[in-house]
Protein backbone atom coordinates (compact mmCIF):
# COMPACT_ATOMS: atom_id res chain seq x y z
CA UNK A 1 0.00 0.00 0.00
CA UNK A 2 1.20 3.49 -0.76
CA UNK A 3 1.77 6.11 1.90
CA UNK A 4 -0.88 8.81 1.50
CA UNK A 5 -0.52 10.73 4.76
CA UNK A 6 2.40 11.67 7.02
CA UNK A 7 2.23 13.51 10.33
CA UNK A 8 4.29 14.23 13.43
CA UNK A 9 2.87 13.96 16.92
CA UNK A 10 3.80 16.03 19.99
CA UNK A 11 7.26 15.85 21.50
CA UNK A 12 9.73 16.65 18.70
CA UNK A 13 13.21 17.35 20.08
CA UNK A 14 14.31 19.03 16.81
CA UNK A 15 17.17 16.56 16.46
CA UNK A 16 17.07 16.91 12.67
CA UNK A 17 17.36 13.21 11.87
CA UNK A 18 14.19 13.03 9.80
CA UNK A 19 15.17 16.09 7.78
CA UNK A 20 18.57 14.54 7.12
CA UNK A 21 17.06 11.24 6.01
CA UNK A 22 14.30 12.72 3.86
CA UNK A 23 14.53 16.47 3.27
CA UNK A 24 11.91 16.15 0.51
CA UNK A 25 9.26 15.41 3.15
CA UNK A 26 10.52 16.77 6.49
CA UNK A 27 11.81 20.21 7.39
CA UNK A 28 12.64 21.99 10.62
CA UNK A 29 10.73 25.10 11.60
CA UNK A 30 11.45 25.12 15.30
CA UNK A 31 10.09 21.57 15.36
CA UNK A 32 9.96 19.10 12.49
CA UNK A 33 7.17 19.69 9.98
CA UNK A 34 5.84 17.72 7.03
CA UNK A 35 5.76 19.14 3.51
CA UNK A 36 2.13 19.13 2.34
CA UNK A 37 0.71 18.31 -1.08
CA UNK A 38 3.44 16.07 -2.40
CA UNK A 39 3.28 12.46 -3.49
CA UNK A 40 4.51 10.64 -0.36
CA UNK A 41 4.54 7.33 -2.20
CA UNK A 42 7.70 8.49 -4.00
CA UNK A 43 9.57 8.58 -0.67
CA UNK A 44 8.22 5.52 1.13
CA UNK A 45 11.56 3.98 2.01
CA UNK A 46 12.90 7.23 3.44
CA UNK A 47 9.69 8.03 5.34
CA UNK A 48 9.75 4.59 6.95
CA UNK A 49 13.43 4.96 7.77
CA UNK A 50 12.80 8.38 9.33
CA UNK A 51 9.92 6.97 11.40
CA UNK A 52 12.13 4.10 12.57
CA UNK A 53 15.02 6.46 13.34
CA UNK A 54 13.09 9.17 15.22
CA UNK A 55 14.37 8.94 18.82
CA UNK A 56 10.96 9.82 20.25
CA UNK A 57 8.95 7.76 17.74
CA UNK A 58 6.48 10.46 16.78
CA UNK A 59 6.63 10.22 12.99
CA UNK A 60 3.44 8.52 11.79
CA UNK A 61 2.15 7.62 8.37
CA UNK A 62 -1.01 6.20 6.89
CA UNK A 63 -1.25 3.83 3.94
Instruction: Point out which residues bind ligand SF4 (CB under 6 A).
Output: 8, 12-18, 32, 54-56, 58-59
Of 7 and 63, nearer to ligand SF4 (C-beta) is 7
Cβ distance to ligand SF4 smaller for residue 3 or 54: 54
Minimum distance from residue 54 beta carbon to ligand SF4 (Å): 3
Closest CB 4 distance from ligand SF4, rounded Å: 19
Please state, in angstroms and as integers, the Cα–Cα distance from residue 18 to each residue in 32, 57, 63, following that order: 8, 11, 19
Pairwise CA distance, residues 14 & 7, whole Å: 15
Amino acid sequence: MAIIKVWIEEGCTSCGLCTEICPEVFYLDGEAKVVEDIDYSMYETQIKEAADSCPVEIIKFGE
